[in-house]
Structure 1
Amino acid sequence: MAESQPQTPEAPKRNAFTRFLDGVEWLGNLLPHPVTLFALLAAGIVLLSGVFGWLGVAVEDPRPAGSRGVAEDGMIRAVSLMNGDGVRRIFTSLTENFTSFAPLGVVLVAMLGVGVAEKSGLLSAAVRAMVLGAPRHVVTVAVVFAGIVSNTASEVGYVVLIPLAGAIFYALGRHPLAGMAAAFAGVSGGYSANLLIGTVDPLLAGITEEAAQLVDPAYTVNATANWFFMIASTFLITIVGSLVSIFVVEPKLGAYDPERADPTILNKSMMEALAEPEKKGLAAAGLAFLAVLAVMAYTLLPDVRFPAWLPLLSGASVPEVLPGWGVLRDPDTGSVMRSPFFSGFVVWILIFFIAVGYAYGRVAGTMKTDRDIIDAMAAALASLGLYIVLVFFAAQFVAFFGWTNLGAITAVTGASFLQETGMTGPALFFFFILMCAVINLSLGSASAQWAVTAPIFVPMLMLIGYSPEVIQAAYRIGDSSTNIITPMMSYFGLILAWATRYDKNLGVGTLIAMMLPYSIFFMLTWSGFFFTWAFVLDLPVGPGAPTFYPAQ
């Protein structure tokens, strides 16, 4: 009797959505490393400039004659870098392109402060206090909100909050993947919503400014460019993320089978309540936070002029003017919106995180001397090695794009196309957000994607009347909404590794399918909220940030 052959397990059926996810993963895998990508783009710009320069490509400059940067004949011409002048310019400016790249300095400065807060243990303690102290019935809301707020300090949400949320839900008898999904939605899906300015804000603002200066060389974009909209978005994303978790994701996951879990999954250090030194440290950090706020307010305090009749009513000697300091107001106009306070806001990020981080560490016992602060700063900058390499090549790409006028030519051509087709109204932003979301599926780094697309779309949309700040806000919606469903996102593998400890059979498709409802609802509600905020209510997206260009 012949031996029976072992049967090959039948391959699971693949539906249209699964094939789509396979296509996204395949496309993403075709892309080179972001550093290599920028190097290739920079080289490609040099080659294109030679071709376009030889062909004599030119477009009419839409800016008024006599304006800064406008040629005498009113044309924008492609400039070749494949000649003697071009090669000499590349060699003599390579270092300056790198060191003068706007995002580099602001990110390094901000990370000096964030490093102190992270090394002291403040960020981890604050996240635990926010989530572990929440009543059982609002744990989901607390997890999503904590995820959004954790973006101020970049990695802390991915490294601390997401595994913590899974452990909390597991301990409460709820599905741990539902907890991880809620945290992931807040940390990554809500990446562009926050109450505070984080490290990504000066980074994106610097890229936006570089792109805007292709049209207006004097234009500046502050790190606070989207702050007002971010604050409002924090509550929108918290509500939407919580509702999706409670009514869509958790019911779909169903009851959890503990047999699927790794027996060592519970991280006891994450689940423990705050120790007394940590509580005292958080109280000290709170006092330091108030002190920084007081100093910030004093730098904006104007002179207070009392009415002439006040001394008569009080019967006391009252000065006519109580002098303020207001040193960070605009020295010429006294304005707060367009002032050194906001244009130099990265310094406040540095001061804030050093003050609260050291106050916490000193009281909690994790920091004792200035040496601890210095070591924390050094560790933070040491973690940026790959980012610095990426910036070197991104800076060359942006500089070459500007020198060759290819960015300006693309922008003018694109803007003319939009005007000819009548696609210049605010509804255009729905398509722009969708396009950014799709691009993000294959290019998961927010800074890398924006560095590539900003030099094209910021000038293009500026030329049809929209401000760089509003364009950046729209980009951030599309980028954030699909962060949670793209395997190209840098932390996606880490989240998958954590999730498989609760379900050993969980794969990439399962994780993406679990997060897809968040992505859909975030995209729809956030886009509508943006449209209402900017174009129906006509509210600024940030301090001194106009909706239209030129400012109306």
Structure 2
Amino acid sequence: MSESKKKKGFVDRSLDIIEKSGNKLPDPVVIFISLCVIILIASCITGSLGIKAKNPADGKIVEAVNLLTPSGIAKMISEAVNNFAEFPPLGLVLVVMLGVGIAEKTGYFETVMKYTIEKAPKKIIVPVIILVGILGNAAGDAAPIVLPPIAAMIFIKLGYHPIAGLVMAYASALGGFSASLVIGMTDALVVSFTEPATKLVSDSVHVNAAMNYYFLCASTLLLLIVAWFVTVKIVIPRFGHYENAVEEEEDGITKQERRAMLFANIGLLVVLIVIAALAIPENGILRNAKTGSLIDDSPLMNGIVPIITILFLVPGLIYGFVAKTMRTTRQFAKMLGDAMSTMGPFIVIVFFAAQMLAYFTWSNLGTIMAIKGAEALKGANGVVLILGVLILSAGINMLMGSASAKWAILAPILVPMLMLLGYHPAFTQVIYRVGDSITNPITPMMPYLPLLLSFAQRYQKDIGLGTLIAALMPYSVAFGIFWTLLLIVWYLLGIPVGPGGPIHLP
């Protein structure tokens, strides 16, 4: 019996159902328009009924706002352009794509990948990409934008389907968002909400940005293994052979290409040295001028997008000139234009996605749901409490994409509540971070999902969201199961989650 006729297993059959159901949905643009309508109707109903909740952060009453009023309609009309222009990932994506586009169009990526595949053992390339994705949160939101298209090109060279590379990189970057081997701006961001929530109960309990470090390091190793297994055993076999892949044996790297790559890599190294020289000294200009921090409100973190763009642009330009794939300024301008032209579908989707997220924020529906959900956990304890906070965080993540916005709402509820039950804020914070991360790959509220779809459409024009969600689902399910088990075992053993981060209060 041929491979294609073999009976599919339970996992494949389940994913087929998700894919078929998802692909029956309208085009993503229509989906976001429909979600806008649903949110507006929900705001009208909840606003008319006077649905409200008390925000424990400031004690103020949060009321559902009916947007289908004269003032609400006027606001939707007047703020439509601002919603689009201020959509966070839009500028980030377009700026990064300038550098990525040059590195791709000149052939720099192609040569580097050929060389890597020739020299590196094939077995380690996939886990290296996964690890880069997991650690990418140290660079803010750049990883889910930069890594997927690079992973897709590498997968073609490896003989795999490029969309398998896209979803693997995306799931690694977002599903493993809270895991890391270094203290990053995410750690500083979440603790900024945990600290004031802690002081609601006690001034003697101290928190710090590194208090989840031990657990997050262990999580990095765990998620690397889990994502690697899911990719090799489920995702790569599911997508199968890429029909447009070049079957014939490709020529090796020419002497000119090798020389161009060498000079390009030297240029990249010089840029990295310059960045280090501006960041490492105590008075470096990439540090926060007042505090000296490299993480908290520093030019390094605030300017990570143009920095990443330069890291791609410089070697791309050098390679183009040395390899003679870019000889004139007109070719340079055309390459930039070609890079931007691929973003057309993404820009269209973003317009409607931006309106949807704005309506959800204005209506206060997300905030009310978060408060009500957290209040429902009161009375739980032990493992049940851990599972409750995880499910709450993961569920709310399907409605609110911003991790900081969710924790700003949940921290004043969950941190004091668990402190009164004897749990340290560090433990509460780490439970939230796990729950918040596991549904990141599949939430429609994540603004990078439309970008992933636009990348995928380069390789399969008719691909739908159902196909992507079906491919991403195994990562969320596997992360949810194994990360939760790690957290429960950690809790039962009573191991501190980080420096100054015990499970229980002294």
* TM-score (normalised: structure 1): 0.62
> Would the aligned equivalents of 2:394 and 2:438 in 1 still touch at CA under 8 Å?
no
> Would the aligned equivalents of 1:131 and 1:146 in 2 still touch at CA under 8 Å?
no
In structure 1, the gaps of 5 or more residues are: 1-10, 66-73, 167-176, 196-204, 217-225, 254-259, 304-323, 440-448, 483-488, 498-507, 541-545
Q: Which residue of the partner structure matches residue 68 of structure 1?
A: none
1:107 aligns with 2:93: yes
In structure 2, the gaps of 5 or more residues are: 134-142, 178-185, 198-211, 416-424, 444-451
Give deviations 1:155-207, integer Å, cap 9, x for gaps. 2432x3223222xxxxxxxxxx7x99996785465455999xxxxxxxxx9xx
Q: Which residue of the partner structure matches residue 292 of structure 2?
A: 334
Distance 1:92 1:427, change over 3 A: same
**Which of the residues 30, 33, 36 maps onto 1:42?**
36
1:398 aligns with 2:354: no
1:353 aligns with 2:312: yes
> Would the aligned equivalents of 2:95 and 2:305 in 1 still touch at CA under 8 Å?
yes
Distance 1:297 1:400, change over 3 A: same
> Would the aligned equivalents of 2:264 and 2:319 in 1 still touch at CA under 8 Å?
yes
Distance 1:479 1:194, change over 3 A: closer
1:56 aligns with 2:50: yes
Q: Which residue of the partner structure matches residue 125 of structure 2?
A: 142
Distance 1:87 1:496, change over 3 A: closer
Distance 1:295 1:245, change over 3 A: closer
Q: Which residue of the partner structure matches residue 362 of structure 1?
A: 321
1:31 aligns with 2:25: yes
Listed as ranges, the matches of 1:125-274 within 5 Å are 125-134=111-120, 138-145=121-128, 152-158=146-152, 160-166=153-159, 187=169, 190-192=172-174, 266-269=247-250, 272-274=251-253
Distance 1:496 1:350, change over 3 A: closer
Distance 1:141 1:234, change over 3 A: farther
In the alignment of these two chains, the number of paired residues is 428
Deviates more, 1:183-192 or 1:114-123: 183-192
1:78 aligns with 2:64: yes
CA offset at residue 110 of structure 1?
1.1
1:94 aligns with 2:77: no
Distance 1:129 1:232, change over 3 A: farther
Distance 1:243 1:369, change over 3 A: same
CA offset at residue 293 of structure 1?
1.2
Give deviations 1:268-316, integer Å, cap 9, x for gaps. 33xx32111221122112211111112212322435xxxxxxxxxxxxx
> Would the aligned equivalents of 2:130 and 2:169 in 1 still touch at CA under 8 Å?
yes
Give deviations 1:197-242, integer Å, cap 9, x for gaps. xxxxxxxx9xx99xx9xx99xxxxxxxxx99999998876666666
> Would the aligned equivalents of 1:285 and 1:359 in 2 still touch at CA under 8 Å?
yes
1:278 aligns with 2:271: no
CA offset at residue 29 of structure 1?
2.6
Measured on the aligned residues, the alpha-carbon RMSD in Å equals 5.2
1:414 aligns with 2:389: no
Give deviations 1:484-511, integer Å, cap 9, x for gaps. xxxxx857798899xxxxxxxxxx99xx
Q: Which residue of the partner structure matches residue 201 of structure 1?
A: none
Give deviations 1:332-391, integer Å, cap 9, x for gaps. 222211112112211101111111111222222212344333222221111111111111
Distance 1:527 1:114, change over 3 A: farther
> Would the aligned equivalents of 1:141 and 1:238 in 2 still touch at CA under 8 Å?
no
Distance 1:87 1:517, change over 3 A: closer
- Which amino acid is 2:261 matched to? L
Structure 2 SS opposite 1:96: helix
CA offset at residue 455 of structure 1?
9.8
Q: Determine which structure has greater relative contact order: mean sequence separation of CA pairs < 8 Å that are 6+ residues apart, divided by chain length.
A: 2
Distance 1:432 1:26, change over 3 A: farther
Distance 1:458 1:370, change over 3 A: farther
Distance in 1 separating the partners of 2:271 and 2:490:
30
Give deviations 1:380-417, integer Å, cap 9, x for gaps. 11111111111111111111111121121112112212
> Would the aligned equivalents of 2:175 and 2:440 in 1 still touch at CA under 8 Å?
no
- Which amino acid is 2:290 matched to? D
Structure 1 SS opposite 2:316: helix
Distance in 2 separating the partners of 1:412 and 1:154:
35
